[in-house]
A and B are shown apart, each in its own frame.
Chain A
Amino acid sequence: MTPLSCRYPLRAIWRDYLRAVIGLTTFGAPALFVEVSSVMFWLLGGLALLFAAFGIRTAIRHSSRVVADGVGIRFTGLLHRSVTWNGLGEVRIRYYSTWRDRSAGWMQLVIKGGGTTIRVDQTLDGFKALADTVCRGALANGARLDGVTRHNAGAIGLNLPTESGDEQA
């Protein structure tokens, strides 16, 4: 198997940095002018923390790589996680959109196995190839893909084999 190495490039992830900064400023700055005993302090502070966590996660993603090779899938960087092909339990592709007509959204690939979960968003360079490799690896190791995953995989142009081994039309 040819190893596949993917990363989040800055051109794809800068919007997430911007979101973290906007959220942190919008909720964190007013929290500084509120008494600590006030409900608003905890509400605004909680939301600011949420955006801070999002910023940290974005930085971790930016500095990490997702590698799929003969052993399994690895998330390398500040937080190291790996799932071996043998231990692969579940693979899901989910679609999220904030628009009413559900357009302009993004896919998320969730890889679970051996008590570890690796989540990658579509902004990852080489997401399609990684999703294809992981889904085929899951099927080869006897894991089932749910209907939603197959539907979403089809939408991004993946032609996955059925559980009987045939390629989908």
Chain B
Amino acid sequence: MFTYIIHRLLIMIPTLIAISVITFLIIQLPEGDYLSNLVQELQAQGEAAALEKVEFLRKQYGLDQPEIIQYGMWMGFWPGPTGFNGLLQGNWGWAFEQDMPVSDVVGDRVLLSCILNFTTIFFIYLVSFPIGVYSATRQYSIGDYGFTFLGYLGLATPNFLLALIMMYFANLWFGVSIGGLMDPEYLGQDWSWGKAVSVFAHLVAPVIVIGTSGTAGMIRRLRANLLDELQRQYVVTARAKGVPRGKLIMKYPVRMALNPFIADIGNLLPSIVSGSAIVAVVMQLPTLGPILLQALQSQDQYLAGSILMFLAFLTVLGMLISDLLLAALDPRIRLGGGVAK
């Protein structure tokens, strides 16, 4: 397994480099940058002092350099005016619009985004596993039809629409606002027990909103996989030998059916992150999504690029976790595949 971990970590290096290049190129695609737009604005207003600061920032972040140098400085591969000081060294760059370091702008949002996304994944697995097993073992029962109907409903409903509906009815029936991720008195405050409790209490609604479509898809996949396994000969043989039903299902077919279920962790993370961006805007969640949207609109390249790289890192990490779990769960060779010579 140690060798496997090393192999997988090495694969992450070119993957992350490729993602960083693509991210940088996409951010550079629109003509101009945030500072160019600002210069035009300041020139129109005749503010010479502010123009000097803009020029300083342009030199500091190498925006007057060729794009390949800009990329190297942003990543920390190429020395800037302060030496090697890029993403690799933990410097997320400067948020031009907010006029402060990116790390200060994102602040708690990184942690809150991680909490929201990982809780959503946990919710998806917690809900879809028992329902998927139930639906497969009681195929065509009323419960199976009920969950299937709910699953289709979840798949067909856009997350942001579900968020709006939940916010409307929560206000109408209970007179409460379910937007935000904490009570207003904790905004901008240091972490405390009260703030943590408030965050977890506010997580319920967004986790349900973001996780519903993922849960629906996961139930369908687990049900289909388990149904395939339940029809195999070894299950029939085990039944004929008198193996108790619960033990038989959990020990063999469920274990086999879990493979695609676990492999989905890697796919789940990016879809949740991208799906949660719109929901975060609708529900006013202080996560990375709204800031990313704002940064892309204003061409604030370091802010947008650093957030995108962080999300890409989370995705690659999700793939790594899912691959390690898969390798531990099913270390069989696939006949027809091949062993390296």
Q: A-side interface residues toward B, CB under 8 Å?
A: 16, 19-20, 22-23, 26, 30, 33-35, 38-41, 44, 47, 50-51, 54, 57, 94-98, 101-108, 121-122, 148, 151-152, 155-156
Contacts and interface: CB of A to CB of B under 8 A. Distances in A.
Interface of B: 1-11, 13, 76, 83-84, 88-90, 323, 327, 330-335, 337-340
Nearest to A93: B331
Contact of B2 (A40, A54, A101, A102): A54
Contact of B76 (A20, A30, A107, A155): A30
Contacts of A152: 331-333
Contacts of A40: 88-90
A57 B3 CA distance: 10
Contacts, number: 99
Given A19-B7, A19-B10, A148-B331, A101 B88 contact: no
B341 to A, nearest CB: 9
A121 B88 CA distance: 34
B89 A33 contact: yes
Interface core residue of A98, A105, A148 (most chain B CB under 10 Å): A105
A103 B3 contact: no
B90 A105 contact: no
25 contacts: A22-B13, A23-B6, A26-B13, A30-B84, A33-B76, A33-B88, A38-B90, A39-B90, A40-B90, A47-B9, A54-B6, A94-B331, A95-B331, A95-B333, A95-B339, A96-B3, A96-B4, A98-B11, A98-B323, A104-B340, A108-B3, A122-B340, A148-B331, A151-B333, A155-B339
A105 B10 contact: no
Contacts of A102: 333-334, 337
Nearest to B5: A50
Given A34-B90, A54-B2, A156-B339, A101 B334 contact: yes
Contacts of B333: 95, 97, 102, 105, 107, 151-152, 155
A61 to B, nearest CB: 10
A35 B333 CA distance: 44
A16 B335 CA distance: 26
Contacts of A22: 10, 13
B4 A98 contact: yes
A135 B90 CA distance: 50
B2 A57 contact: yes
A101 B4 CA distance: 16
B180 to A, nearest CB: 28
B331 A96 contact: yes
A47 to B, nearest CB: 7
B89 A105 contact: no
A22 B13 CA distance: 10
Contacts of B334: 101-103
B89 A38 contact: yes
A66 to B, nearest CB: 16
- Give the 8 A-B CB pairs with smallest separation, nearest first: A40-B90, A94-B331, A95-B333, A103-B337, A33-B84, A96-B4, A155-B333, A30-B88
Contacts of A33: 76, 83-84, 88-89
A69 B327 CA distance: 32
A105 B7 CA distance: 11
A121 B332 contact: no
Contact of A19 (B6, B84, B90, B337): B6
A157 to B, nearest CB: 10
A96 B84 CA distance: 38
A105 to B, nearest CB: 6
A13 to B, nearest CB: 11
A148 to B, nearest CB: 5
B338 A103 contact: yes
A16 B340 CA distance: 14
Given A98-B11, A104-B340, 15 more contacts: A23-B9, A33-B76, A33-B83, A34-B90, A39-B90, A44-B88, A47-B9, A50-B6, A54-B3, A57-B2, A96-B1, A101-B337, A102-B333, A104-B338, A105-B340
A122 B333 CA distance: 13
Nearest to B6: A54
A22 B1 CA distance: 19
Contacts of A156: 339
A33 to B, nearest CB: 4
A22 B9 CA distance: 11
A59 to B, nearest CB: 14
B84 A50 contact: no
